[in-house]
Amino acid sequence: FLIQNDIRKAIQSEQFTLVFQPKVNLETYQIDSAESLIRWNHPKWGLLKPIEFISLAEETNLILDIDKWVLKKVCEQITYWKETYNKSIRVSVNFSAQHFLQRNLIEQIKEILEDTNVDPTLLEIEVTETVLLRSKDSVKQTLEQLKELNIHISLDDYGKGYSSINYLREFPFDTVKIDKAFIQEITCPQKHSRLIIESTIALMKNLGLNVVAEGVETIEQLNLLKEFKCDEVQGFIFSKPLSTNDFIRYVDKHK
Ligand code: G
Ligand code: G
Ligand code: MN
Ligand code: NA
């Protein structure tokens, strides 16, 4: 119960910060987009990672307030990068499943878009398939409304759960992010992983989806993903998540 009060306080007193992990375009090697990831600068416990507080925040629904804070910050950041450096960088936010049970979600997002004057095409929302397992029709409708606002929609952690191909047909995704556990098996000969990933990427691209590989750490993984025509790579081989200043420096180095 203490941590619930701590989370409320943390939002008010700006204890949360965001880091940004670059996604590298495998054709141009430029940085067109990034994923925002939250960190908590806790006054007593130091820097906390999401694994230490997100599930509790989800259980208590405080995740709604956290993610709204993240969304607003990200929109401001996108606008700042555009206006100050003339850089159009698409930035994604992670949305927990709880949001899709909220009736006024779209209204709230519209308000943030207006307040921050953000170009919505530069905003991306990442959802995992746990969202899709809920009331399907209403989730589909909500995703379609987000798309009508010109927001980019991604399916995160593909390959981790059931990962039905049908999700990719039924819901209006722009991008699929292949889970890092799946990617890290790519060089493992026993598991047919290489073949499965190659075919999966080909299928996704034939469906018109943009494909991002997450958790890429080695040159072997990178070379295979290039061969399979994966669009973008996010992983430690290029960069860990970076502060805003380090991120913009990184973007400049990759022009
Ligand atoms: O940041 P790390 O690099 O440890 O992220 C771990 C996980 O925490 C991510 O995969 C994501 O699912 C979750 N996460 C990170 N930032 C956010 C956020 O702003 N909102 C939500 N809901 N989840 C986040
Ligand atoms: O939302 P999601 O779970 O997809 O967030 C991505 C997570 O993966 C974050 O925790 C991020 O820090 C982590 N990550 C990003 N790149 C790498 C990588 O190359 N290797 C590993 N092990 N983790 C990574
Ligand atoms: Mn994510
Ligand atoms: Na992700």
Q: ipTM for the complex?
A: 0.97
**CA–centroid distance, residue 36 to ligand 3 (Å):** 8
Query: How many whole angstroms separate alpha carbon 222 and alpha carbon 232?
Result: 10
Q: What is the pLDDT along the chain (255 residues), one digit of tens a residue?
A: 578 889 999 999 999 999 999 999 999 999 999 999 999 999 999 999 999 999 999 999 999 999 999 999 999 999 999 999 999 999 999 999 999 989 999 999 999 999 999 999 999 999 999 998 878 889 999 999 999 999 999 999 999 888 888 889 999 999 999 999 999 999 887 778 899 999 999 999 999 999 999 999 999 999 999 999 999 999 999 999 999 999 999 999 988
**CA–centroid distance, residue 93 to ligand 3 (Å):** 7
Q: Is 28 left (phi over 0), alpha (psi -120 to 50) or beta?
A: alpha
- What is the predicted pLDDT for the residue at 3? 81
Amino acid residing at 119: D
Q: Whose CA is nearest to atom 14 of ligand 2?
A: 215
Q: Where do the domains of the chain lie?
A: 2-253
Q: Which atom belonging to ligand 2 lies closest to the Cα atom of 177? A: 4
Q: What are phi and psi of 239, to 5 degrees?
A: -165, 145
Spatial CA neighbour of 156 closest among 104, 102, 97, 196: 97
Q: What are phi and psi of 94, to 5 degrees?
A: -90, 130
Q: Is 214 in the pocket of ligand 2 (CB under 6 A)?
A: yes
C-beta separation of 49 from 68 below 8 A: no
- What is the predicted pLDDT for the residue at 1? 57
Q: Could you tell me how far CA 220 lies from the centroid of its own chain?
A: 24
Residue owning tokens 């759960």: 161
Quote the DSSP letter at residue 188.
-
243: its two tokens: 């502060």
Domain 2-253: which CATH number of 3.30.565.10, 2.170.190.11, 3.40.30.10, 3.20.20.450? 3.20.20.450
Query: How many whole angstroms separate alpha carbon 72 and alpha carbon 1?
Result: 26
Written as one string, the DSSP assignment of 42-64 is: ETTTEEE-GGGTHHHHHHTTTHH
**CA–centroid distance, residue 57 to ligand 2 (Å):** 20
Q: What are phi and psi of 89, to 5 degrees?
A: -115, 125
